[in-house]
Chains A and B, each alone.
Chain A
C-alpha cells in the first residue's frame, strides 16, 4: 500500500487520465481521484495497493559475438523491488546454451518468480 501521494497516468484506455492516489489513514484503502470510468478506478486501486511490473533486462555471457543475453522475469514483481532484482540480474552469467522461454534460475529473488531467457544463446564448442 502506498504511503505517500502518487500522481500517475491511467493506462486503462488511450484517454490517459491523470490519477491521484492518496494514501488512506492507518492502512485503510487509498483514495483515488481523477478517474473517469470504472476501469480507471480499478487501475488506480491496483496501483495504490502494489505497482507490479514485468522486468526485462540482459545478462552477461561469455560469448564475444553475443556479449549480452536478453532475459525477463516470468511474473510481474513489485516495482519498488526492481533495484534488488537488477542487482541479482547483473550478477548472473549465462554460461550454457539456451533459447527463449528457458528458465535460467528458479525462484529468482522471490518464490514463484523465474529468470527466463528471451533470446537464443549458442556457444561454439
Chain B
C-alpha cells in the first residue's frame, strides 16, 4: 500500500515518542489505517509504555504486537464442551459476549421481530468485567471532553432510572464526592464545574467546604479540606443489572448460548461480509455480527477480518467490607488523580454498594493474562490504604476481595459502531470504565446501527409482537414489608425457609434463581442472583444446603454441582462406596 504523506508524518510522530520513552527497539509500521508496533522489549511495563506512546497520534487504532520474552500472553480460555447444538442455526443477529453490553444490546434489539443469539463462552452472563466491578454509575466527569467516553457516560447515567424501573434492579443515586486534600484544591472547583458542563454531567455539581463534606459524610477522615459534589453518581449491582437485561432479552425471545465460544469467522469470497460463525457447538450463520467480547474484542475483530486495535488487560482489585459499615459512607469519595502517570485510573476510593456493603478500590495494574482474576498481597496492601479515607473503617471489616480485568485499548476510548471494513460487523469494544455507566446509551445506539445494517440487507424491521420491557426479578424477601412478606410465605412456604443466614435468603429465592429465564448453573451463579453465600460467613454455613437444593432442583447428583461451571466440581465423591445400595 502506498503510504500517504500524512500517515508518514503520524508514523514519524509515533517513532519519536517511542524514542523519547527509550524504546528504540520497537518498530512502528502502518497496518491499513492503524499503527502496528512490533519487536521485543524487556518488560511488560515497556510494552505498555510503547502502546501509550503510539496512542493519540491520529491513527484508527494501535496494534501492539510487541513481544516480551519470558512473559506469556495466554490465549482466551475455551469451554471444554464440544457438540453440534448450534450446527446450521441461522440468526439475524449474533452477539458475541454476555456482559452488560452484549445483554443490553440483545434486550434493545429484542424490541424488534428479529432472531437474536448471544454467544457467551462462560457458563453465565456477567462473568468477566461486567460482574467484576464496583457498580458505580459514574457521573461523566472523568473522561476528557470530546471523547466517546465523555459523550456516552452522562447520557447512559441518565438512562439508568428507566432501566431500573423496567428491569427491577435496585439503584441508589446518592452522588459522589471528590475530596480535596489541601486548601489550594478549592481553586480547581471552577475547572471541575466547567468540565461537568462540557461533559453534560447532571447537576447541580458544586464545591464543598470541609464542613459541608462532614455534614454529608460525617465519618470521612478529618484530613480533607473540602470537596466537589456530583449528585448524579449512582450505584447498582453490576451483575444483577446484566442478568436482568439477559432475562428480559430471553423473555422477549433472544437465545442465550452459554459455554459457546466464537472460534472462527467465515467471510464472503471478497472478504467484505461475514457469512458463518464457527463455535465449539457447531457452525451457524448470521446477518449481522456484534462484537461485544470485552477483553477478547480485539481477537473477535481479528477473526472477523477487521483487525485495527489491541486490547490490554488492566486488572483492578476491590475489597468488600461487612454490611455493618453501611452507615459510615453513603456516597463514593476519592481523591482526584491529577498526576499524569495515573491518568488511566480514577484513583480509587471508598464506594458504597447497593447491597449495603462498602468497597475499597479499585486498583489498576497492567496484566498480560486477560483472565487473571487472582489477588495478591502487594496489590492488597495498596488497596487497604484507602481505609484512611474514612475513620470508621478498618481492615478487620474486610470480608472478601476480588479482581476484574478492564478491556482497555491504547487509545483509552470506546470503539463503537459499524466496521469500516466488514459490511455486517459492529464493534462495541474497549469498553471499560465508565463502560457500565455508559451501557444504556451504548446499547441503544448499537441496536440502531444494527437495524440500519439489516435494513440495507432488506430485512424488514418490525416491532416484536408482545414485547414486554418489564422484567420482574426474584422477590427480595428480606426487604419486603412485614405484611407482604407474610402473605408471600403463606402462598409459598419456601420463602419462609431461610438458607443463607448472613444475607437472610430463603430457599424460595434460591429455587427461583435456578428456574429463571437465564437460570443459575453454579453456586456462584446463585450468589450473584440472590446473594446467598455472599455475606460475612461466605457460605460457611449455607454451602452444604445450597448444594443439596441445587442437586434437587436441577435433578443432578451432588457431585454434579459446581462452584463456577464445568471443571469446578465441589464434592469429589461419595464416602462409603463399599456399602450396599438401598433397594
Contacts and interface: CB of A to CB of B under 8 A. Distances in A.
Contacts of A105: none
B2 interface: no
A90 B580 contact: no
A90 B582 contact: no
B582 A62 contact: yes
Contacts of B580: 91, 93
Interface in A67-91: 68, 87, 90-91
B578 interface: yes
Contacts of B579: 59-60, 90-93
Interface in B551-583: 575-580, 582
A91 B581 CA distance: 10
A87 B578 contact: yes
A119 to B, nearest CB: 15
Contact of B577 (A59, A62, A68, A90): A90
A58 interface: yes
A68 B579 CA distance: 11
B575 A58 contact: yes
Interface in B159-193: none
Contacts of A93: 579-580, 582
Interface string A14-58: 000000000000000000000000000000000000000000001
A93 B582 CA distance: 8
A114 to B, nearest CB: 19
Contacts of A58: 575-576
A95 B579 CA distance: 12
A60 B579 CA distance: 7
Contacts of B577: 90
A104 to B, nearest CB: 13
Which interface class (under 10, 10 to 19, 20 to 34, 35 or more) fits B? under 10
A95 B583 CA distance: 10
Nearest to B552: A64
Identify the interface centre among A60, A90, A91: most chain B CB within 10 Å of its CB.
A60
Contacts of A68: 575-576
A66 B522 CA distance: 24
A91 B582 contact: no
Contacts of A87: 578
A116 to B, nearest CB: 17
Nearest to A91: B578
Identify the interface centre among B576, B577, B578, B580: most chain A CB within 10 Å of its CB.
B576
Contacts of A95: 582
B57 to A, nearest CB: 67
A91 B576 CA distance: 7
A62 B576 CA distance: 13
A38 to B, nearest CB: 42
Contacts of A91: 578-580
A58 B575 CA distance: 9
Nearest to A95: B582
Nearest to B558: A67
Interface in B78-94: none
B578 A59 contact: no
Contacts of A59: 576, 579
A26 B110 CA distance: 87
A7 B133 CA distance: 53
A92 B577 CA distance: 10
A86 to B, nearest CB: 10
A68 B580 CA distance: 13
Nearest to A94: B579
Contacts of B575: 58, 68, 90
Nearest to B583: A62
A58 B576 CA distance: 9
Interface of A: 58-62, 68, 87, 90-93, 95
24 contacts: A58-B575, A58-B576, A59-B576, A59-B579, A60-B576, A60-B579, A61-B582, A62-B582, A68-B575, A68-B576, A87-B578, A90-B575, A90-B576, A90-B577, A90-B578, A90-B579, A91-B578, A91-B579, A91-B580, A92-B579, A93-B579, A93-B580, A93-B582, A95-B582
Interface of B: 575-580, 582
Give the 5 A-B residue pairs with the shortest CB-CB distance, closest first.
A62-B582, A60-B579, A90-B578, A91-B578, A60-B576
Given A91-B580, A93-B579, A93-B582, 9 more contacts: A58-B576, A59-B576, A60-B576, A62-B582, A87-B578, A90-B575, A90-B577, A91-B579, A95-B582
